[in-house]
């Protein structure tokens, strides 16, 4: 009994096949198989590299350094003056135009803008609690000297005098000659691979004296601001006057199945406010900051700066792929199974369209009906004999019939 | 010979099937198939969109601008005063309470806190090399006037006088009326799709005058701080007094198979220090910064600010999906194969549970044993005849038997 | 007719199998199946957790706080002095050496460096438009007192006097005793799981008084700078003198099928400029910033700081996995199909290598050739009888033959 089970277990089941020696179906069969096979090899495996596990999230650290001098308001500005924040961050601004309101003290004073013109106090009540003024509107109308005229303006409380940001100032166009040095190191945590954006073959001198060019010098980490504006089709005068946001994208696309030295960065440049073109809003980029001073007697005062700036966002994206058994297996399995799909097509042709379809059907399908089984059960002894060939396998356990089905998959 | 190979190659093999005309198994078979089919169509394909390739990493650029005025310590603070850093970054702080220690010069002076009370020098030795003081503890005990009493305090070297951060200051509650404007542009590198967080149908006026509301105005980029506190169930007084961290999440979930205009942001708000609730530590958010001044004779001094702030982190997450052949194929293959799993169940029922199971087994399985083969080999000429039907295929190459197995998958 | 269709539809087709009772093939078959099965269970499912859907992109918020005092240039520096930016960002710098150029006013003055030595104006023309000077080179040669000698130096316009950054300054080595406190909260958007980097079992006192150690105290959020330098094998003196970039990596690897309390951070430390070792460039990290002052009569002047700093980048990466039906299904299907691959091997052995291979082939393959079909069609009545068993199934629709193929997959 035990022995029988063991014998039954160590059997091998394979599907019984009908071999159709027909040129029509034979050729269709092979052509479909070749077609599916090429698709998998060519597209899925070679082009899409489905045998690799890929990692999209990259750990990145960016250090930047700007160099250059510019004239603004008869001042020579250097890095410490025009770069904010100063510590070499991945997102930094180069100030191109600064509207300065000097010597602001806390107090009450008239607003500057025409919007706040008034004749009597009632005119100012509507502006109370609005946030676009220079300070808290008190609801009082004051006389104010603007240029050489005396006009009525609502009073506001805060830093005085109020800012006038409608002055015309020539932006610092020298920004076109500035250079940006970018140091970027990335790590793919999944593969524990670390890379830097200088080729290891570049010497110190090469790196210090190069200038990025997409074709001639694609791995140079020094970028000329003028070039970047060109790549993004920006007009210097407009950008310097209104400010703007430019993205410097560093893309790492690494095939770690090859030599690690082929894992190099690719730089691209975009204007970040491009998606907002359709809205007529917020062209440009500006912000306000203040420098604080103290008088001899200890009163604080400040100089307000409304700064128009070109903001550079260095954004790093990475994708690394490496051979891995699991995606390979899944895709190989999908490939083989898809090749099996050819059978569906051929079966339809064979069993429906070919001359002799009925005969093929008769050979492919063997029919057992309830009626037959009932009949054979009734005339038991004889039928048992006639079915003799298969009777022994009637001791097959469920496990075996499961295995059969596995193979059928 | 060659011709024979070619003929053999262009054959078509299909599995031989047993068609069971039984209502029981037939119905079970179809029901299982329908069930699996619906699961794949409904859940895997329609709900989970398994036919798409998805991208989780998004390239994002965020610009922010805060507006509003607040009273603090009889000062009117504006953006340049209370926003740090000032350049409109994705992570910014709005100061709500500032404890100011004025006119600090380098020197030696007594500590302020009771913790450093002393009678003689020995009492101060324990504090040497500790880092929670205001300066380097020298180990000397000094007399210090605190309020109107003279008490002993350990001497520390550094910026003097020492900070007293236990004063009660009314925080700037006006923060509730401030507004935050957020400009966000994202790019999905895989699909090279760029989007901005304003609808392209919104005009300049609409954008400038709207106020975000989750239902009425879900695409407005201007957020009221008071509303944000409401959405996160924060108490203004506590938050302004102790500081805190609030996350503004912009979620992009884009189905790129539809019109790109449906790819819109969804905003949500969370209190970021929520995971630390169980620890009684670090509720709140504060940091220290200094403003530096110079006396007439060139000595530097500073005003130390201990600033309690609400920090806003604008965090952008994105997920985009687009139809792609590879995941579609893999899932279609999985679907078909799973439908084949129905066979396993039906086979078990057919071969074990049905009346006439033995007969079905006999029809499904054809048995060949070593003994039979040996016997047929022994009485060679006769057996060859009886097996004649299959003999020609004995010239089949390995390639063909491989193909057979493919179909069997 | 209708009824016939229904009867045909509710049939069940199963492949006809040949059961080979041979020890050789039986054992090979089972061994291969066991091997493939173990691979899937052990590697794919248990080790690689292929039954989980994983999320790699994590939403993270980092807050840092540095504590400690250091002596630099006879000053005691505290947090407000040496941390930039001050607001507790994820990327922050601790200044370790600062070269100060005091009292710079806008004007014209000689350069400092030997590189700009000149005898007459012509010597300076070459330097015009170069950006490594301290200001805009005017092309004039001036006499300059350096130390106690009078030498010729090119004139530059900008902030004067020019910076001399070749002075020897002792860096602030006390940095070794500083501590960094890190608060990190993360969210996995896909699963909407939020975690913080303190264990919920840690009390306020435990957190405040602990010190991170990879083995003894792996969840303490307070890091000693000296320890971090040790973990990254950095030399304090070199790093403090030249500056450098250190990465603090917080890695979240969460199996959300287990208790959420097991989802804890793991800290690691790296020197970020490691990938640039081969290039002799840019060891170290420095940047320039200025503090602005005003004279009594309203002229602005500044103190330029060239700051060498250790920059810390807190980088957070996360990976969370959770059971999901779709990857489970795909991998289960791949597993079953791969087990079916065993059949390929066994078929090759059975049909080519075993004694009696011809006989096995004869039993597995049933051949139908065009010739046979033609013949049977010619002598129609008789053949119909001889094929009687299969004729009824000739009414099978295409749908059924498709279903057959599904099962065959």
Given an 8 Å threshold on Cβ–Cβ distance, is C365 in contact with B57? Answer: no
Residue B105 included in any domain: no
Is residue A267 scored above 80 in pLDDT? yes
Cα–Cα distance between C336 and C334 in angstroms, integer?
6
pLDDT at residue B320, rounded to an integer: 93
A181 & A330 share domain: no
Contacts of A198 in chain C (CB under 8 A): 276, 279, 281
B190 & B148 share domain: no
C344 & C372 share domain: no
B179 & B272 share domain: yes
Best residue of B54, B107, B275 to probe chain C, by most C CBs closer than 10 Å: B275
Alpha carbon C50 to chain centroid, angstroms: 20
Residue A296 included in any domain: yes
Q: Given CB atoms, is C15 within the 8 Å cutoff of chain B?
A: yes
Contacts of C404 in chain B (CB under 8 A): 15, 17
Cα–Cα distance between B344 and A401 in angstroms, integer?
8
Beta-carbon contacts of residue B215 (< 8 Å; ≥ 6 apart): none
B254 & B389 share domain: no
C97: left (phi over 0), alpha (psi -120 to 50) or beta: beta
Beta-carbon contacts of residue B193 (< 8 Å; ≥ 6 apart): B187, B254, B256, B260, B263, B320
The Cα of B334 is separated from the nearest Cα of chain C by a number of Å equal to: 6
Q: Given CB atoms, is B87 within the 8 Å cutoff of chain C?
A: no
B71 & B117 share domain: no
Q: Given CB atoms, is A57 within the 8 Å cutoff of chain C?
A: yes
* B76, A136 contact by CB (below 8 A): yes
B319 & B191 share domain: yes
Residue A136 included in any domain: yes
Residue A129 included in any domain: yes
Beta-carbon contacts of residue A126 (< 8 Å; ≥ 6 apart): none
Q: State pLDDT tens for residues C302-346.
A: 999 999 999 999 999 999 999 998 889 888 888 888 887 778 888
Of C207, C296, C365, the CB nearest to B393: C365
Measure CA of the first residue to CA of the last residue in chain A; give whole Å. Answer: 31
CATH code (residue A308): 2.60.490.10
Is A179 labeled as ligand-binding? yes
Q: State pLDDT tens for residues C248-307.
A: 999 999 999 999 888 999 999 998 888 887 776 657 899 999 999 999 888 999 999 999
Task: List chains adjacent to chain B, taking adjacency as at least 3 C-beta pairs closer than 8 Å.
Answer: A, C
Domain end residue (candidates: A306, A323, A340): A323
Of A18, A79, A344, the CB nearest to C405: A344
Task: List chains adjacent to chain A, taking adjacency as at least 3 C-beta pairs closer than 8 Å.
Answer: B, C
Residue B311 included in any domain: yes
Is B286 labeled as ligand-binding? yes
CB burial readout B225-252, b (16+ within 10 A) else e: bebbbebbebebeebbbbbbbbbbbbbb
The DSSP line for B99-157 is: EEEEEEEEEEEE--SGGGB-SSTHHHHTTTT-SSSSSEEEEEEEEEEETTEEEEEEEEE
C172 & C261 share domain: yes
Residue A362 included in any domain: yes
Is A66 labeled as ligand-binding? yes
A253 & A144 share domain: no
Rg (CA), chain C: 39
Q: State pLDDT tens for residues A33-51.
A: 999 999 999 998 999 898 9
Of B7, B76, B361, the CB nearest to A158: B76
Number of separate domains in chain B: 4
Q: Given CB atoms, is C72 within the 8 Å cutoff of chain B?
A: no
Given an 8 Å threshold on Cβ–Cβ distance, is B11 in contact with A33? Answer: no
B227 & B273 share domain: yes
Q: Is B139 exposed, middle or buried (0-12, 13-18, 19+ CB in 10 A)?
A: middle
- Give 3-state DSSP helix, strand, coil % of chain C, rounded to 5: 35, 35, 25
Contacts of C208 in chain B (CB under 8 A): 281
Q: Given CB atoms, is B283 within the 8 Å cutoff of chain C?
A: no
State whether residue C226 is helix, strand or coil: helix
Given an 8 Å threshold on Cβ–Cβ distance, is A288 in contact with B85? Answer: no
Cα–Cα distance between B163 and A313 in angstroms, integer?
38
Is B287 labeled as ligand-binding? yes
Best residue of C365, C396, C400 to probe chain B, by most B CBs closer than 10 Å: C365
CATH code (residue A40): 1.10.287.940
Is residue A294 scored above 70 in pLDDT? yes
CA-based nearest residue in chain C for residue B311: C87
- Tens of pLDDT along chain B (409 residues)? 788 888 888 888 888 888 888 888 888 888 989 999 999 999 989 998 989 998 888 889 999 999 999 999 888 999 999 999 999 999 999 999 999 999 999 999 998 888 888 888 888 888 887 878 888 998 899 888 777 888 889 999 999 999 988 888 999 999 999 999 999 999 998 898 999 998 888 888 888 889 999 999 999 999 999 999 999 988 899 899 999 999 999 999 999 999 988 899 999 999 888 888 777 665 789 999 999 999 988 899 999 999 999 999 999 999 999 999 888 988 888 888 888 777 888 888 888 887 788 888 888 888 887 777 778 878 755 444 444 333 333 333 333 333 333 333 3
Q: Given CB atoms, is A329 within the 8 Å cutoff of chain B?
A: no
pLDDT at residue A246, rounded to an integer: 93
Given an 8 Å threshold on Cβ–Cβ distance, is C56 in contact with A61? Answer: no
Query: What's the complex ipTM?
Result: 0.83
Residue A7 included in any domain: no
Cα–Cα distance between C188 and C56 in angstroms, integer?
8
B38 & B137 share domain: no
B81 & B215 share domain: yes
Q: Domain of A119?
A: 113-160
What is residue C217's DSSP assignment?
B
Residue C36 included in any domain: yes
Given an 8 Å threshold on Cβ–Cβ distance, is B274 in contact with C340? Answer: no
Cα–Cα distance between B297 and A141 in angstroms, integer?
43
Contacts A–B by Cβ distance under 8 A: 287
Given an 8 Å threshold on Cβ–Cβ distance, is A279 in contact with B207? Answer: yes
Domain end residue (candidates: A270, A305, A323): A323
């Amino acid at each position: 009994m035990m022995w029988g089970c063991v014998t039954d277990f160590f059997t091998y089941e394979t599907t019984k096949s009908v071999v159709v020696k027909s040129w029509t179906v034979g050729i269709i069969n092979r052509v479909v198989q070749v077609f599916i096979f090429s698709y998998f090899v060519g597209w899925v495996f070679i082009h899409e590299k489905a045998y690799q596990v890929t990692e999209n999230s990259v750990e990145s650290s960016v250090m930047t350094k700007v160099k250059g001098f510019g004239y603004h308001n008869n001042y020579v500005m250097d890095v410490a003056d025009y770069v904010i924040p100063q510590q070499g961050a991945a997102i930094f601004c180069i100030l191109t135009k600064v509207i300065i309101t000097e010597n602001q003290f806390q107090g009450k004073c008239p607003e500057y803008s025409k919007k706040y013109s008034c004749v009597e106090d009632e005119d100012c009540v509507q502006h109370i609690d609005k946030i676009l003024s220079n300070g808290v509107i008190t609801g009082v109308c004051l006389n104010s000297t603007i240029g050489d005229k005396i006009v009525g303006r609502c009073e506001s409380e805060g830093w005085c005098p109020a800012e006038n940001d409608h002055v015309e100032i020539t932006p610092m166009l020298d920004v076109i000659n500035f250079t940006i040095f970018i140091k970027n190191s990335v790590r793919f945590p999944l593969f524990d691979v670390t890379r830097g954006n200088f080729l290891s073959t570049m010497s110190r001198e090469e790196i210090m004296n190069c200038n990025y060019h997409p074709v001639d010098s694609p791995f140079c980490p020094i970028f000329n601001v003028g070039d970047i504006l060109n790549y993004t089709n920006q007009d210097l005068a407009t950008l310097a006057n209104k400010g703007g946001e430019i993205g410097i994208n560093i893309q790492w696309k690494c095939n770690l199945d090859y030599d690690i030295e082929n894992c190099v960065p690719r730089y691209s440049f975009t204007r970040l406010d491009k998606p907002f073109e359709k809205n007529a809003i917020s062209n440009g980029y500006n912000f306000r900051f203040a420098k604080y001073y103290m008088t001899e007697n200890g009163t604080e005062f400040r100089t307000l700066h409304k700064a128009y700036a070109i903001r550079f966002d260095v954004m790093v994206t990475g994708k690394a792929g490496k051979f891995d058994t699991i995606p390979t297996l899944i895709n190989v399995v999908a490939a083989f199974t898809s090749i099996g799909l050819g059978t569906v097509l051929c079966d339809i042709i064979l069993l429906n369209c070919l001359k002799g379809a009925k005969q093929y059907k008769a050979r492919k399908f063997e029919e057992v009906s309830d009626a037959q089984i009932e009949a054979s059960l009734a005339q038991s002894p004889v039928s048992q004999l006639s079915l003799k060939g298969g009777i022994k396998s009637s001791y097959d356990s469920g496990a075996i019939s499961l295995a059969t089905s596995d193979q059928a998959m």
